[in-house]
Protein backbone atom coordinates (compact mmCIF):
# COMPACT_ATOMS: atom_id res chain seq x y z
CA UNK A 1 0.00 0.00 0.00
CA UNK A 2 1.27 3.48 -0.89
CA UNK A 3 0.60 6.38 1.43
CA UNK A 4 -0.23 9.79 -0.01
CA UNK A 5 1.58 12.30 2.18
CA UNK A 6 -0.06 15.70 2.27
CA UNK A 7 -0.27 18.95 4.19
CA UNK A 8 -3.70 20.39 4.90
CA UNK A 9 -4.45 23.81 6.32
CA UNK A 10 -7.54 25.96 6.82
CA UNK A 11 -7.29 29.57 7.97
CA UNK A 12 -10.05 32.08 8.75
CA UNK A 13 -9.64 35.72 7.71
CA UNK A 14 -11.12 37.78 10.52
CA UNK A 15 -11.87 41.50 10.41
CA UNK A 16 -13.00 42.82 13.80
CA UNK A 17 -15.11 39.99 15.21
CA UNK A 18 -16.33 38.85 11.78
CA UNK A 19 -14.97 35.88 9.79
CA UNK A 20 -15.09 37.45 6.33
CA UNK A 21 -13.42 34.56 4.47
CA UNK A 22 -11.38 31.41 4.82
CA UNK A 23 -8.82 29.62 2.70
CA UNK A 24 -8.30 25.88 2.79
CA UNK A 25 -5.54 24.12 0.92
CA UNK A 26 -4.04 20.69 0.51
CA UNK A 27 -0.49 20.29 -0.79
CA UNK A 28 0.21 16.75 -1.96
CA UNK A 29 3.59 15.01 -1.94
CA UNK A 30 3.87 15.38 -5.73
CA UNK A 31 3.60 19.17 -5.43
CA UNK A 32 -0.01 19.21 -6.59
CA UNK A 33 -2.04 21.90 -4.84
CA UNK A 34 -5.76 22.09 -4.17
CA UNK A 35 -7.18 25.33 -2.73
CA UNK A 36 -10.64 26.58 -1.80
CA UNK A 37 -11.53 30.18 -0.98
CA UNK A 38 -14.83 30.94 0.71
CA UNK A 39 -15.92 34.57 1.10
CA UNK A 40 -18.52 34.69 3.87
CA UNK A 41 -19.05 38.45 3.95
CA UNK A 42 -18.33 39.88 0.49
CA UNK A 43 -18.91 43.52 1.40
CA UNK A 44 -16.52 43.54 4.37
CA UNK A 45 -13.99 41.36 2.54
CA UNK A 46 -13.84 43.52 -0.59
CA UNK A 47 -13.75 46.76 1.43
CA UNK A 48 -10.83 45.60 3.59
CA UNK A 49 -7.21 45.99 2.51
CA UNK A 50 -6.27 43.93 5.57
CA UNK A 51 -8.36 40.98 4.33
CA UNK A 52 -6.85 41.20 0.84
CA UNK A 53 -3.32 41.32 2.26
CA UNK A 54 -4.03 38.35 4.52
CA UNK A 55 -5.37 36.38 1.55
CA UNK A 56 -2.23 37.15 -0.45
CA UNK A 57 -0.07 35.89 2.43
CA UNK A 58 -2.12 32.70 2.77
CA UNK A 59 -1.91 31.99 -0.95
CA UNK A 60 1.86 32.50 -0.82
CA UNK A 61 2.04 30.00 2.06
CA UNK A 62 0.03 27.49 0.01
CA UNK A 63 2.40 27.89 -2.96
CA UNK A 64 5.40 27.47 -0.66
CA UNK A 65 3.93 24.27 0.84
CA UNK A 66 3.43 22.89 -2.68
CA UNK A 67 6.97 23.82 -3.67
CA UNK A 68 8.39 22.19 -0.52
CA UNK A 69 6.47 18.96 -1.16
CA UNK A 70 7.72 18.84 -4.75
CA UNK A 71 11.32 19.44 -3.64
CA UNK A 72 11.29 16.27 -1.52
CA UNK A 73 9.22 14.09 -3.85
CA UNK A 74 10.91 11.05 -5.35
CA UNK A 75 9.33 9.20 -8.26
CA UNK A 76 8.39 5.66 -7.29
CA UNK A 77 10.35 2.88 -8.94
CA UNK A 78 8.37 0.49 -11.10
Which H or E run contains 4? none
Strand locations in 1-78 (E):
6-15, 18-28, 33-39
Enumerate residues 6+ apart whose C-beta is below 8 A from 4: 28, 29
Count CB atoms within 10 A of the CB of residue 53: 11
- Quote the CA–CA distance of 67 and 23 in Å, as a whole number: 18
Q: What's the pLDDT at 6?
A: 87
Whether residue 47 is predicted with pLDDT greater than 70 in this model: the reply is: yes
Give the pLDDT band of residue 78 (cuts 50, 70, 90): low
* Predicted TM-score of the model (pTM): 0.82
Contacts of 50 (CB under 8 A, 6+ apart): 15
Which pLDDT belongs to residue 5? Answer: 80
The band of 71, judged by pLDDT with boundaries at 50, 70 and 90, is very high
For residue 1, the model assigns a pLDDT of: 56
Higher pLDDT, 66 or 5: 66
Amino acid sequence: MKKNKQTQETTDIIIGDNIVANLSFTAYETGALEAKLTINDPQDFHNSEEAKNELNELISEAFEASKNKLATYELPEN
